[in-house]
Every structure is written in C-alpha cells, then in structure tokens.
Structure 1
Amino acid sequence: MGGTDVPVVVGLDNGGTSNNATVLTLDGRFLVDGLVENPSEVRAGPAAAIEALARAFDGVLALTGVPRAAVRAVGLDTPGPASATGVISSRGSTNFSQPAWRGYDVRTALELRLGLPVLYHNDGNAAALYAHHTHFGAEAMRRSSVSAIVGTGLGGGVVEAGRVVAGAAGMAGELGHVHIPLTGLLAPDQPVPTCACGFAGDVESVASLTAIGRNLLPYWLGRFPDHPLAGEAPERAAKLVRGYAERGDALAREVFTQQAMALGRLFTVAANFTDPHAYFVGGGVVEAAPDFRDWFLATVREHTVLRVEQAASATFALVPERDMAGARGVAIAALEALRAGPAPRPVVAG
C-alpha cells in the first residue's frame, strides 16, 4: 500500500454485512493487497447504507494516502438482481429485504453522495470480470468467459471481449435462475428442488448455500439418519456441510456432487450460447481445502458436455481471491469505462 500521484478509480463491494474497498491506478496497479472492510449497514435501510459506502470510500483513500482529487470514478457492486444502472429489483433481493430497497437506485444515490461518476455491476458480474482479467491478462480484451459464483444464492457473469454482457434490462448473467435438466442429477425419489425466486429446478435450487439447507440436506439426512448434522439446526447444518465434505464424509460428498453436476449442466447450456474460452467457479464452495477444491472443479468439468473442438480450447479455473474479487472487478470496470472510446455508429440509417 502507498500513496500515488497518478489518477485512480475506487472499487466498492457492498455485501449483506460488510463493504470492501480497493484503489486502482489508471495505469493498472492495485494499491490495496487485502480486505479493507467496514459494516455495510444494509439492514438499516438505503440512507444508512449509502453513508456506510461513503465511509468505505473515505477510509480506503486515507489508508492508501490518495487525495480525493485524484479519484476519477467509482465502481460499485451490490448483490443482485438489479438493473445495469444500479436499480435494485422491484422484487427486492436476498440482502435487501426491507421494502425501501425495492426499486431503489443505489448507483445514483452514491453518485450524488460522492459527487463522482459511479459505474455499477452486480456482485456476480464484478467477480466474473475480475476472474476474467486476472486469468487472461493482456489477452483479456480478446477472450470470453462464463463464471458461476456459489454463495447464499448463485450469481455469475458472462464476459465477452473483456467486458460484462449486461443485457437489455441489465440482468444478463443471472445464471442461478437458468433451468437445467434434473434427470440423472437427482436420486430417483428425491423431490424437485425449489428456489427462493419461485422457480423449480433452476441452478440455484441445487447449487447454493440456500439450496443445501432448503433442498439437499433434508433429503440426504433422510438417507443418513444417524449423521451428526441431523442434530444441528438447519441453517447451521448447511454451513457445516463443506467441512464434512473436505474430510471425505459420504453424505456431504453426495450434496456437493449434486452441486457440481448442476454447475456442469449450467456450463453445458453456456457452451451452446456463448462458447466461451473459460469457465470459472467461485464462491464459498471453493474456499476450501485444496483436495476438495480440486475434486469439486474436476467434477464440474466432468459434467460439462463440450464438443471436441470446444474441449480443446476451453479452460476451467477458480475465481481467485474471492473476498476481493467484487471490489477489484468493479474497479476494473470503472477503469475500462474511462478508457473506452465513443460508441460505433450504426451502419444502417434509421
């Protein structure tokens, strides 16, 4: 860490409990090499949360010794779903449960508070962008990727030519709500899993922490009635499953095999839509012991059906530095927005 005389952008990653902040110089150097966190205050409502983001902004500048006048733009991410311009979904979000958040324009509110341009992505897209640029480096603007970020829900992002594909309403990359085939994934008597969004059989209904507690663990505990997790409260049991899986526990491996299969089927769908150069997996599911992490990624790869030509050119990898990926991803997006030239003119006159 250290001060700089060159212009910078600031990346702010807003989560359900904490904000994380970073600083990126316009010549491409991160001035923060770890987490710089403060409480996000999202449960106190939008006004308190915007003030918390402003404190995160001020705090990371003080830590790095960067004067406020050096900041050219701010990147912001929040949990989705939200529009490309930072308007939280009218149905709300897992982390934004109060009615005041529904339809709230978080990007504009922060822009007005800071008096600086603010670029927005949801947290899945931000992590996807960071994974893409970190993996491909100098080739990033000539490559494509799809990322699945497994957390409380399932986020993700589609990156083409180094930039996030946002979509018409800004909700492209909501990969958790893609429906996948369940034949061969579920046990013969296993109920069809349901998602908090109301869908049945989407990826998030299998591959998420919520899915473990809601759908997978209740079924598998019925097959392993003497398992130690049977005596735990459901929410705590869901969080403990990964530790058991790391130790090779049979029930836990059944749970994570189904999650890996679901991600493989998601990537199979992606292969036929975008044919990316790389498939990234991130989130708490891979913040684990190396043996388990490698097994999980290999199982995802095993269940991703690619054509011979695709398999020869595709890479499977983990999202690096998950806790910092959001802030760094939106900082990269803010920097690229500053660098971008004018949009191309249409070929056919209107």
Structure 2
Amino acid sequence: MANSDIPVVVGLDNGGNSNNATVLDLNGRFLVDTLVETPCQVLKGPEAAVEALADALEQVLVRTGTSRELVRAVGLDTPGPASAAGVISSRGSTNFSQPGWRGYDIRGALERRLGLPVVYHNDGNAAALYAHHTYFRDDPMRRSSVSAIVGTGLGGGVVERGQVVTGAAGMAGELGHVHIPLFGLLAEGQPVPLCNCGFVGDAESVASLTGIRRNLLPYWLTRFVGHPLGDLDPVEAAKRVRSYGVDSDPMAIRIFEQQAMALGRLFTIVANFTDPDAYFVGGGVVEASPEFREWFLATVRANTNLRTEQEERARFALVPDLDMAGARGSAIAALTFLNGDRHGTDQLAGDRPVGPAPP
C-alpha cells in the first residue's frame, strides 16, 4: 500500500486489448509489482479509449491505496506510429485503425480529461526507457542504450543520457525499418524478405512475428517437408514457432538463428551511430525458457560486429519485466518530467539490475 503523504506519478501502457497501469512514488519506488490490466476500448473509438485510460488510472490508485490528490503527472505510451507529442499518425496504425484515430491527439485528450500533465512516448520507447533506468539504476543519466523489442513488428528505442531520442517528428528509434545486410543471413534460394511497410530487407522483415509468418516460415517449411507446423493456419503456425524453438526443434532454431543474426546486424549499424553502453533485447524470447533466452542473446551478440574498444564496454541484456516495461517506462518519463531539471530518477528502490553493474 502507498505511503499516504508521498506524491506519485502514474504510468499507463495502452495496448491492443488492454491498458496496464502502475504507480511510482517520488522516492523512486514502484507501488505495483504485477500487471494491473483493464480493457482499453480502442476499437470503440478515441472518446471511449480515453475514458478507459482514465478508468485504468483510477483502478490502479484504488489497488495501491493511493489518493487521487497525490498524483502529480501521468506517463502514457501507445503503439506507434505517432508523433513525439502523442498525435496518432495521419495514416493510422494497426491498433488505431478507425478513421477517427487518424491525426488524433491522444496525449492532449487524456491531459484534458485528467487535469494533469501527461508525458507521451510510444510503447517501444517506454520499454527502452525502463530497461535503461533499471540496468543503469545508479547512473542512468550518464549512460546510453538501444533496445530492440521483437513482437508483431520490431519496436524499440534509443536512450541517450537517460532520455529517449524522439527525433523531430517522433519517429526516431524505429529500428525495425533500418535496412540490414542480407548476405550470409539468408539461406540458399531464400527469397529476399518483404516488410509490411513496403521496405525490402529491413530488420522487421526478419526479426518479428510478422516476418516469421510472411517470410521465414514459408521458406523453411519447404526445407523441412512434413513439419507439423505446415498443417496449421499460417498465423497460428507463426505463433507456435517459439514453443518449438524452446524444444530445440531444428527448423525453429534456424528461424530464430536468422532473427538473432538480423538483430546483431542491426546493432552493428547502431554501434556506428550511437556507440551505446548497452544493447537490450525484448519480446517473446524474454518469455521463453532461460536456456533459450541465453542462447538467443548470445547469438545476437556473436553477430554484432564491434570494435575492440566497444567490446570492452558494451553490455548485452534482456529487457526486464516485459509485460510491465511500458507502464513502468512511462512512469519514469513522467517522474523525469516532474523533476524539471531533467536529471531523471535516483535509484529505483526495490528493483535489481538485469545484468552486471556498470563500471
């Protein structure tokens, strides 16, 4: 339960089916250690969705015994594409498909509904921010990191000195649409992968669930004739590849090996632009068995081509608490905003880093 006299911020993570909420007090302690989910109502349109976000805030306050008067700011994340100010793309998105969402200012609408400052990031950036502050909990404002989060697409974010790099239009950190070298990654006769965005051979066309369904699985099923996944609907088959990978199925291992190689090549490109202290990987692999996670992360690292000086400093780790990372990252963004001096949060009380402590 909350300490009744310590002000708080609330983090709200808007997803395709539900909202997840968390509470972070001004001492840097999360008051929620599990998912607190409520329906998101995005299919009912903007007005219903904003009301659902307000309801999510109220419910997490009740859950933690926190008075509404103690809330000083709110962090919000949604799937992209959206501007840095929280305006949904004029072309809409997978989650915000109805015409009413196109060009909708969800951050501003929620701010008016709550009467509180609302800080916005897309979901990949919010998760990246949480990974960064958790790993570098003692000194996040002097460190940099990049996160790649494998889901339906390939999200992520770039954090520099504890702050998310958003770019002029809010599109920075769209790592999935960076073109990667394919020579040596594709098998003999394997078609060049196509992305839903229209790009050819970008990272998302390989390292995503959509990439598995559209590009990788159809090819590998021709090399593993009679595989059980060949009898399933392509969407369902793609979802099941991970469970086969955990069981060391040869075809699934080849698929995930290609995904790990793609991420390594992506990180190699990033290394020459931002030269970060840490590289984080999130997504379904985080939810797999420890042995599979370790193998996948090691394969990513083996395919990241760093200079000797970079290898001595670079760290590779998994995004922690992935289901809660968006809401927690959004809360951290709100607390950083509230501090005003942009020095970020102090150590997040009660959290442990996901890798070895930085030097």
Fold conserved (TM > 0.5)? yes
The TM-score, its normalising length taken from structure 2, stands at 0.94
Task: Measure, in 1, the Cα distance between the counterparts of 2:208 and 2:184.
Answer: 19
**Residues 225-244 of structure 1 aligned to structure 2 (within 5 Å):** 225-244=225-244
- Where 2:295 maps in the other structure, the secondary structure is helix
Task: Measure, in 2, the Cα distance between the counterparts of 1:202 and 1:122.
Answer: 20
1:248-294 CA distance string (max 9 Å, x none): 00110011001000100110000000000000000113210011110
Q: Which residue of 2 aligns with 1:154?
A: 154
Task: Measure, in 2, the Cα distance between the counterparts of 1:272 and 1:132.
Answer: 19
The 8 Å contact of residues 42 and 48 in structure 2, kept in 1 or not, is answered as yes
Q: Which residue of 2 aligns with 1:74?
A: 74
- Give the AA of the match of 1:335: L
- Where 1:138 maps in the other structure, the secondary structure is coil
- Give the AA of the match of 2:2: G
- Where 2:136 maps in the other structure, the secondary structure is helix
Task: Measure, in 2, the Cα distance between the counterparts of 1:76 and 1:133.
Answer: 17
Q: Which residue of 2 aligns with 1:34?
A: 34
Task: Measure, in 2, the Cα distance between the counterparts of 1:340 and 1:208.
Answer: 37
The 8 Å contact of residues 3 and 64 in structure 1, kept in 2 or not, is answered as no
| Residues 1:315 and 2:315 aligned together | yes
Task: Measure, in 1, the Cα distance between the counterparts of 2:189 and 2:70.
Answer: 61
Gaps of 5+ in 2: 344-359
The 8 Å contact of residues 154 and 175 in structure 1, kept in 2 or not, is answered as yes
Q: Which residue of 1 aligns with 2:108?
A: 108
The 8 Å contact of residues 151 and 285 in structure 1, kept in 2 or not, is answered as no
Gaps of 5+ in 1: 344-350
Alpha-carbon RMSD: 1.2
- Where 2:130 maps in the other structure, the secondary structure is helix
1:184-235 CA distance string (max 9 Å, x none): 1111211111111111111111101111111111111111120000011111
- Give the AA of the match of 2:132: H
Q: How big is the shift at 1:57?
A: 0.5
Q: Which residue of 2 aligns with 1:285?
A: 285
Higher relative CO (Cα under 8 Å, sequence separation at least 6) belongs to: 2
Task: Measure, in 1, the Cα distance between the counterparts of 2:18 and 2:3.
Answer: 24
Identity of aligned residues (%): 73
Task: Measure, in 1, the Cα distance between the counterparts of 2:3 and 2:48.
Answer: 29
Task: Measure, in 1, the Cα distance between the counterparts of 2:208 and 2:262.
Answer: 10
| Residues 1:245 and 2:245 aligned together | yes
| Residues 1:44 and 2:44 aligned together | yes
Matched length: 343
Q: How big is the shift at 1:150?
A: 0.6
Task: Measure, in 2, the Cα distance between the counterparts of 1:218 and 1:302.
Answer: 26
Q: Which residue of 2 aligns with 1:5?
A: 5
Q: How big is the shift at 1:341?
A: 2.5
Q: Which residue of 2 aligns with 1:204?
A: 204
Q: Which residue of 2 aligns with 1:347?
A: none
